[in-house]
A and B are shown apart, each in its own frame.
Chain A
Amino acid sequence: MTDSSRPNESATEAWITGIGLATSLGEGLDANWDGLNQQRVNVDEKGFAPYVVHPLAPVSFDAQIPKKGDQRQMEAWQRIGTYAAGLALDSAGIKGNKDILARMDMIVAAGGGERDLAVDSAILNAEAKGNAAPGFLNERLMSDLRPTLFLAQLSNLLAGNIAIVHGVTGSSRTFMGEEAAGVDAARIALARIAAGQSDIALVGAAHNGERKDLLVLYEFGDFNLKNKYAPVWARGEQSGFALGSGGAFLVIESRKHAEARGAKPYARLSNVVADRAARKNPGDVTATLNKLWSKLGKLDDSAAIITGATGAEPVTSEERAFLAAHPGAAVRATGTTFGHTLETQFPLGLALAALSISRGKLFPPNDTSGLEIETAKAPSQIVVIGAGHWRGEGMALVEAPR
């Protein structure tokens, strides 16, 4: 158990003061809030058939990445993330504030960029036709790979691009490792703020689901949702996830730092906890989620739950067993609306939790299985859950500021 942010009387309180969202529903808080309330889902069953993906809603990248040259240097996931990061800085009221950006810490959860599918395919075709001379691969890669593609694929270059475009330079750390990376980015940022090692941090991730090379990776493990879209809880025998597209960034800062600059909180980030269940025996994930729940701090009976449940098995069933022990809680699965955005799913959950608290209501269920229940109560506590499709479990407690 990593107790990085065990509730501590002397710990500095941390607020979420900025949220940036660019998703399959749209860009900005209102578009996402409206889409959720209208139970809208933007899903593509045809473009990558038989695989189901959630495409990014149209976004004017120029608004946050003014230089075309910068946009050209980035892959789609980097553009989405750099865009969402800019929205978060705007939302926190610190866009262009050089004094703060120069000492702002950054933790990005990242995968990597898309390969050049045409180059890969051409090489494999040539090899299949018997062109396998020593050095053939070298020759083709030397002449066909774009030199800058490397940087557009490199994991830490999302953070690098955010530094270049928005000037966030206090520190720059990139966590990798699928869903858990998103949990740990928030966990470490909060732990540093709580301990006085940092005053303000930009935390988030981005994912592009419209990628055949990623589908191949998850197809190895038969994790892709095929043929027909269904809400996460209604996938039953047809388990799996539909890759999602989006960026979610948060500005997290100490209450003191926020108050000194007159910033208002969307919500308080009270705790983030994470663990790694061995997943060797049935029930391992359920047990770990129970353990994490008990570490979150004092929870009211009315706490709501926003989960990044993937729809993949067996982890989704293990999470359902955990949720069944909390029958009164209003649960929302982000995967139903946004698909599965891997590293981004947990920051997305945090963003939607903070947004719900700031808007004084939880968005409605979008579920045919009956697991998600209506609630009219203004949420004062929302627990965000992230259980990775293969590894990693995390939880956060997002609360109304007191």
Chain B
Amino acid sequence: MSATRDKFGRPIVVVTGMGVVTSLGTGKTDNWAKLSAGESGIRTITRFPTDGLKTTMAGSIDFVPVEPFSSTDLSERLADLATEEAVAQSNLGTKGDFPGPLFLAVAPVEVEWPQRQELGRAIGNQTEINYDEMLRVSGGGKFAPYHRRFLFGSVADHLAETFGTKGSPISLSTACASGATAIQLGVEAIRRGEADAALCVATDGSVNPEALIRFSLLSALSTQNDPPSAAVKPFAKNRDGFVMAEGAGALVLESLESATARGARILGVLAGCGELADSFHRTRSSPDGKPIIGCVRNALADAGVTAEQIDYINAHGTGTPENDKMEYLGISTVFGERASEVPVSSNKSMVGHTLSAAGAVEAVFSLLTLEHQRIPPTINYDVPDPSIPFDVVPNKARDARVTTVMSNSFGFGGQNASLIITGEPI
């Protein structure tokens, strides 16, 4: 075994660049300062009227202007910002020429209301509006840019063009585990030896009326609107749902060999990835927790570490009654008595649930936790839930020796993915 291969003989995969945008701000410095200070990015929504909505707050990003607004345009803009930061930090390749493939986690795309309403206006009020009429006015080039904009592959295409990634860019969705899956695809590509570097990006700009209402109709969202900053209460007894949020995370992954050869600064190691699908229900986890347990065990096995070596868990921790209960069941089954000793905190208590971006945003935060040796808190934790006896690092960040982090992501459709991230090669 050479020093650049892991105990299974695979190339060790390291992180040499990372970037992040959340409702807390743009960039690692700003985000880390606020995250470790326990600040919330959740605000009352001002982007659109919230009349008649049960949930009126979100971790929306209004400091990145997008005009006219579409969620896909915002997703693209956020991905740009995070990727620029990550690529600049890695100092890999040259501007517009990134020497590896792109894996992009992105929310599913479709034509949105502002554009649909534009079609309605093009039809006018003299005719009954229906899809036949919409079809009649859609062609002829007047709305040509909307074709590209609302293709599923358009954000990845833009990133591939801008950053010069190589080959066919992959857009993917594993719902709320998407960000972790993007990273996993990059890790696998480097381990196969088909690339020395990969750009793994995850982005989500989904705070629009219909997306919010869709989650609201599934009773998934918190309705504790006042104050918005106190809405997300992961692992607390009075938790009542997640809060939608926007953001992007980007990681430059590289083989340790390639990173060392060019003298790059190594920010951390992607030691292992695990996944396992749940066949129980479209939105609920199997009550026995087996898929989550299996996912966590797969990640540990892939990294070649034991549960005893994990000294911080960056939880999925959405703040829904169901998720947090199931996450405790999964972790306590694998970790046994240590489940109440290992610090487990949820970044979502502060930034909200960045959905497709969450896995990558939280991987960046896990790496920052390793760098700063300081665990960001779970805020809004005032009423402990006795059935979830985690050490949630309540309300205040904590200095701690952290060497090996597990970051979990679970999503609708039975999606489970876990990452093991370390400071040094193991």
Tell me if A183 counts as interface (CB < 8 A to partner B). Answer: yes
Report yes or no: A142 in contact with B414, Cβ–Cβ below 8 A.
no
B161 and A278 form a contact (CB under 8 A)? yes
The answer to whether A215 and B153 touch across the interface, beta carbons within 8 angstroms, is: no
A residues 344-402 near B (Cβ < 8 Å) are 390-394
Contact across chains for A164 and B281 when beta carbons are under 8 A apart: yes
Flag whether B30 is at the interface (Cβ < 8 A): no
Contact of B129 among A121, A188, A275 (CB under 8 A): A121
Contact check, A142 vs B216: say whether CB atoms are below 8 A apart.
yes
Q: B141, B156, B191, B413 — which one has the most chain A CB atoms within 10 A of its CB?
A: B413
Q: How far is the CB of B131 from chain A (nearest CB, A)?
A: 4
A184 & B170 in contact (Cβ 8 Å cutoff)? yes
> Is B380 interfacial (CB 8 A cutoff)?
no
A180 at interface by CB-CB < 8 Å: yes
- Taking CB atoms, residues of chain B closer than 8 Å to A110 are 173
**Most interface-central of B52, B129, B172 (chain A CB within 10 A):** B172
Contact A177 B170 (CB under 8 A): yes
Q: Contacts A2-B168, A124-B120, A391-B157 hold; do A177 and B152 have CB atoms under 8 A apart?
A: yes
Across the interface, which residues of A come within 8 angstroms of B135, CB to CB?
51, 212, 215-216, 219
Q: In the bound complex, how far is the Cα of B425 from the Cα of A226, in angstroms?
A: 59
Decide if A177 touches B278 in the complex (CB within 8 Å): no
Task: Contact check, B280 vs A164: say whether CB atoms are below 8 A apart.
Answer: yes
**Does A111 interact with chain B (Cβ within 8 Å)?**
yes
Contact B282 A157 (CB under 8 A): yes
Report yes or no: A138 in contact with B53, Cβ–Cβ below 8 A: yes
**Who on chain B is nearest to A167 by CB?**
B279
> By the criterion of a CB under 8 Å from any partner CB, how many residues of chain A are at the interface?
86
Indicate if B143 sits at the interface (CB-CB under 8 A): yes
Task: List the B side residues contacting A176 at CB < 8 Å.
Answer: 106, 108-109, 152-153, 171-173
A221/B144 in contact, CB under 8 A:
yes
Decide yes or no: A191 and B192 within 8 Å by CB, A141-B209, A219-B139 being known contacts. yes
- Residues from chain B with a CB closer than 8 A to the CB of A275 are 167-168
Asked if residues A178 and B153 are in contact (CB atoms below 8 Å), the reply is: yes
Q: Which of these, A135, A172, A393, contacts B415 with CB under 8 Å?
A: A172
Q: A125 contacts B51, CB within 8 Å? A: no
Task: Judge whether B131 and A216 touch: CB under 8 Å.
Answer: yes
- Residues of A close to B227: CB separation below 8 A: none
When each residue 155-180 of chain A gets 1 if its CB lies under 8 Å from chain B and 0 otherwise, what string results?
A: 11101110110011111111111101
How many Å lie between the Cα of A2 and that of B194 in the bound state?
8
What 1/0 flags go to B89-126 for Cβ under 8 Å of A?
00000000000010000101111010011011101110
Known contacts A2-B101, A175-B172; A151 and B283 CB within 8 A of each other: yes
Contact A134 B51 (CB under 8 A): yes
Q: Mark A134-147, 1 if CB is under 8 A from B, else 0.
A: 11011101100101
**A residues in contact with B151, CB < 8 Å:** 177-178, 217, 390-391
**CB-contact partner of A212 in B132, B181, B185, B281, under 8 A:** B132
Interface string of B186-224 (1 = CB under 8 A from A): 001101111000000000000001100111111000000
A142 touching B415 in the complex, CB below 8 Å, given contacts A147-B217, A213-B131, A220-B143 = no
| A138 engages B194 (CB within 8 Å) | no
Distance of A278 Cα from B168 Cα, bound (Å):
11
CB distance from A274 to the nearest CB of B (A): 4
**With a CB–CB cut-off of 8 A, which chain A residues contact B407?**
none
Question: For window 92-150 of chain A, which residues contact chain B by CB distance below 8 Å?
Answer: 106, 110-112, 115, 117, 120-121, 124-125, 127-130, 134-135, 137-139, 141-142, 145, 147, 149-150
A220–B154 Cα distance when bound, in Å, is 15
In the complex, chain B residues 254-285 whose Cβ is within 8 Å of any chain A Cβ: 275-283
A2 to B49 CA separation, bound complex (whole angstroms) = 45
CB closest chain-A residue, reference B152: A176
Q: Does B138 contact A (CB under 8 A)?
A: yes
Dominant SS among interface residues on chain A: mixed
Contact A175 B171 (CB under 8 A): yes
CB of B355, distance to nearest CB on chain A (Å): 11
Instruction: Kindly report which residue of chain A lies nearest to residue B286, judged by CB atoms.
Output: A169
**Interface members, chain A 185-232 (any B CB < 8 Å):** 187-188, 191-192, 195, 197, 212-213, 215-224
Q: Is the CB of A3 within 8 A of B194?
A: yes
| Cβ A151 vs Cβ B282 within 8 A | yes
Say yes or no: A195 contacts B192, CB within 8 Å.
yes
Q: A138 contacts B175, CB within 8 Å?
A: no
A112 touches B415 (CB 8 A): no
B394 interface residue (CB < 8 Å to A) = no
Q: A73-94 toward B: CB 8 Å interface, digit per residue (1/0)?
A: 1000000000000000000000
Asked if residues A172 and B277 are in contact (CB atoms below 8 Å), the reply is: yes
Q: Is the CB of B125 within 8 A of A173?
A: no
Q: Contacts A163-B278, A175-B171, A391-B153 given; indicate if A128 touches B124 (C-beta within 8 A).
A: yes
Cβ–Cβ contact B277 & A216, under 8 A: no
Contacts of B282 in A (CB 8 A): 73, 151, 157, 160-161, 164
Asked if B217 and A150 sit within 8 Å, CB to CB, the answer is: yes
CB pair A156 B175 closer than 8 Å: yes
Known contacts A170-B276, A197-B191, A216-B135; is A155 also within 8 Å of B147 by CB? no
Report A-chain residues with C-beta under 8 Å of the C-beta of B168: 2, 180, 183-184, 187, 274-276, 392-394
Please, which residues of chain B bring their CB within 8 A of the CB of A164?
279-282, 414
Tell me if B69 is interfacial: C-beta within 8 Å of chain A: no
List 13 A–B pairs whose Cβ atoms lie within 8 Å, in order of A's numbering: A1-B167, A153-B108, A155-B173, A159-B277, A173-B174, A176-B171, A177-B153, A177-B171, A181-B153, A183-B168, A220-B150, A278-B161, A390-B147
Beyond A135-B50, A180-B153, A217-B111, 12 additional contacts (C-beta under 8 Å) are A6-B194, A111-B152, A124-B120, A137-B113, A138-B49, A159-B277, A159-B413, A183-B168, A217-B151, A222-B139, A223-B147, A275-B168
